[in-house]
Chain A
Amino acid sequence: MTAKAVLIYDWVDDRLGLSELAAFARHKTVPVHAQSFWYYWGGISLFLFLVQCFSGVLLLVYFRPGAESYESVRQITFVMHFGWLIRSAHAWSANLMMFSILVHMFSVFFMKAYRKPREFGWLSGMALLGLASVFGFSGYLLPMDELSYFATKVGLEIPAAIPLIGPAMANMLRGGPDVSEFTVQRFFALHVVVLPALFLPLLGFHLWLVQKHGNASPPSEEAKPIFDRKTMPFMPNFIRKDLAMWLISLNILALLASVFPWALGKQFDPLAPAPAGIHPEWYFMSPFEMLKLLGSWLPGATGEYAGILLFSIGIMLWTLIPFYDTKKTSGQRGRAAHYFGLAAVCLLLATTAIGYWTIR
């Protein structure tokens, strides 16, 4: 560094304590083993979230919620210079983010990274996944084309099926008995104000925990003596590889957004019959299909109630897993948690596949 640069650095360092941060980063290490690849998925999710923020702000400039939603999205897609690209990048990065969060969650689960002292990391991660799902659901309606209108209508049947409070909750979300421009305004407020206000501090907390506790090693690695375990410096080695993964993600995103630009369907018509093949986004397909299956097996509203109950219990058990599988050594509970995870993966994949297979 030149003398002037050193002076500037020292000035900033005196006030912000950059040297302490640099020293922390220098001493921090990341385990190196056969499963190290899975460490990058949290970073990929973060990168895609940043893409969401950037592209979302650009869309916000031209998007007009309410009665003009469709027209404004049409203008973004077909009139504004590179509007189609920003919209495609936003939609594709949302889907890729959901995918990477799910991969991150399952990798954390199977590497037992939820065990002490990382329980809060797991819980905050689950909350972030929940919020990301609501981000996806609320954003999907905003173009107000035929597909998003009917998919939201179908999607809101899930909370509406909750006993007692369900119908009132669905009415509140819709802003009335039907999906309309009021629903768009509510979803818009949720999408750009309420959810970011909840998501950002929670994300900060999650990242702080990751820095505080570091990356967890899988049980097979922890069983090794300390001198047999390999590590790499966080700065610059891990950061460099993490950034390379970001670049690869950017390329995949650019490829998808350019080769398969996000389509805009016909404007919604509440009086028209629902087009064939209406279904929720892929990450909601599993609960949707479970409700559908149980609804067809059990009589009346019992199927819907049973489905919601089953799904709620499943998510609750999944979230509380750090308090069940607590020991460092993989005993009976560790194995049970592992099988529970495998069963969850199989159930999600099977019901999603059946859901797509049976689309009419």
Chain B
Amino acid sequence: MNYPFWDIPHIGSGWVIGMIAIFHVMISQFAVGGGLYLPLAERKALRMTDAEGRADWLKQLASHSKFFLVLTAVFGTVSGVGIWFSIGLTHPEATSTLIHNFVFAWAMEWVFFMVELTTIAVYYYTWDRIDPKLHLKVGWVYAGASIFTLIIINGILSFMLTPGDTWIGVAGSGLEASKFWNAFFNPTYWPSLFLRCCVCASLAGIWALITASRIDGDKQPALKTSMVKWSVKWLVPSFVAMPFLMIWYYAMVPASQRALLTLGIDTINSGTFSTVTRMALIIIVTSATIVFVAYFLAYRNPTEFNLSHAMAVLLLALMATGAGEYSREMLRKPYVIGRWMYSNGVRVPSVAKINAQGYLANSEWVWNGAGPGIPTSHYSRGEAIFRGECGSCHTLTGYRPLQHLLEGRDHANIGNFITMLHENKADSPYRRFMPPMVGTKQDVEDLTDYLNAQVNPPVAGTRSLLTAQK
């Protein structure tokens, strides 16, 4: 379309975002939850009447804040920038739409982010150097700033799933930004915000268990017991509220997307269309395990809770977070921005135009009509269409490999399949997950030739279909 295609062989560009995003979410949500954990824990310590206990708690919190600073301010920041790079390259059309709508929101988020970075540095470096009450205030400023970053980014992320009727009504008119608040407080905003708050609190407790598990239970049993028990309590909001919040979230998701959750109940259907169901299973199993381990191994036996136990809980949290974020992404299918832009960057209202004019005629970065002095493209029209229309979700040989998924089909069969995707009829089972194949009849034939050449490679000595349609 309007931007060049970012080709990542084997894993696909989507997974570059996925890997960075899952890592980032683990840390950024800790930054929010942990931001609240630190001042609350410090306040609790300052109110302790036992001087020795208070000193131990404050020393442990100082140590935890160092870990917090390094993890959130270094790895969180770097991975956050990594997301910007990767989404800009993988989904330039969608990123452009988001920037045009939410540039003000992002500007606000960056302000809060700068406050976060500054205050956490001040908070760590001023332990025992400024008045404890002032130090605690710095912690509260950090907590407030980090919560605001969540409040803002949640509006943008939930918008991508449910932009809302008001915004959709003006989308494409140039007046989209005038409906900023409608887009921001979209139908899934509130359930999503509360869900994320619960996850943040849980991650604060889980990460705190990492540092608390390193306290020597033989030498400091009282400190370890109180620290571990207090950290486990941070998992309680999730344990109690999460099921209700999930139901609320589920109710606010459009019925067409809700159906994706149930697709995997009775079939694996090559594994593709049942992803949301399968990811939901992982979330349930891992979350239940975290609760069991946190209660039986940590809360009931705090002094024996060691680093390997804490790492196991963290790993489970990583699995649950990864599965949760992946499901959230998959729940948007076949769109990247609900009802407005398909996952391959094609805008919903543009389908008729592209079907009339051709896909490549609307692709600025493909020089498909070589003229005098202009070098010919090193790849065919079919490959260009494959890259643009299929490449956001499929690779040829790696992740969701088309060579494997189309295996056993001949040229005619592949052609029929692509025609079915092109027609995108109401009863097509692929409609729920996949965008329509857009373009002219020639585009359909070119893509068919290209994919057929990949699935059924031409016999040596015959004319290659890879370049036949140039």
Which residues in A have some Cβ–Cβ distance to B below 8 Å? 77-85, 88, 237, 240-241, 243-244, 247-248, 250-251, 254-255, 258-261, 263
Contacts and interface: CB of A to CB of B under 8 A. Distances in A.
Contacts of B279: 258
Interface stretch (B132-140, B264-272, B378-386): B264-272
B85 interface: no
A244 B297 contact: yes
Contacts of A244: 293, 296-297, 309, 312
Contacts of B296: 240, 243-244
Contacts of B265: 81-82
A79 B266 CA distance: 5
A78 B266 contact: yes
A261 B278 CA distance: 9
A288 to B, nearest CB: 25
A258 B269 contact: no
Dominant secondary structure at the B interface: helix
Given A84-B267, A84-B268, A240 B301 contact: yes
A78 B282 contact: no
A82 B267 CA distance: 7
Given A84-B264, A85-B281, A260-B271, 5 more contacts: A78-B268, A79-B266, A84-B268, A244-B296, A263-B271
Given A247-B289, A247-B292, A248-B312, A255 B267 contact: no
A260 to B, nearest CB: 8
B141 interface: no
Contacts of A84: 264, 267-268, 274
A240 B297 CA distance: 8
Contacts of B266: 78-83
Contacts of A241: 297
Dominant secondary structure at the A interface: helix
A254 B282 contact: yes
A261 B282 CA distance: 13
A84 B264 CA distance: 9
Contacts of B304: 237
Nearest to A260: B271
B281 A254 contact: yes
10 contacts: A79-B267, A81-B265, A84-B267, A241-B297, A243-B296, A247-B292, A254-B285, A255-B319, A259-B282, A263-B271
A258 B278 contact: yes
B91 to A, nearest CB: 24
Contact of B267 (A77, A243, A250): A77
Contacts of A237: 304
B225 interface: no
B286 interface: yes
A259 B278 contact: yes
Nearest to A248: B312
Tell which of A240, A251, A259, A260 has the most Cβ of chain B within 10 Å: A251
Contacts of B267: 77-79, 84
A210 B199 CA distance: 42
B145 interface: no
A83 B265 CA distance: 8
A133 to B, nearest CB: 28
B201 interface: no
Contacts of A263: 271
Contacts of B286: 251, 254
B316 interface: yes
B271 A255 contact: no
A77 B268 contact: yes
Contact of B282 (A77, A79, A255): A255
Contacts of A248: 289, 312
Interface string B242-280: 000000000000000000000011111101001000110
Nearest to A85: B281
Tell which of B278, B301, B304 has the most Cβ of chain A within 10 Å: B278
A254 B274 CA distance: 15
Nearest to A247: B289
Contact of B319 (A79, A81, A83, A251): A251
A235 to B, nearest CB: 13
Contacts of B292: 247
Contacts of A260: 271
Contacts of A88: 268
Contacts of B282: 254-255, 258-259
A87 to B, nearest CB: 9
A312 B179 CA distance: 77
B22 to A, nearest CB: 14
A88 B266 CA distance: 13
A284 B268 CA distance: 28
Contact of A261 (B271, B285, B316, B319): B271
A258 B281 contact: yes
Contacts of B297: 240-241, 244
B268 A250 contact: no
Interface string B290-332: 0011001100010010000100100010010000000000000
A241 B305 CA distance: 10
Contacts of B301: 240
A247 B286 CA distance: 9
B116 to A, nearest CB: 33
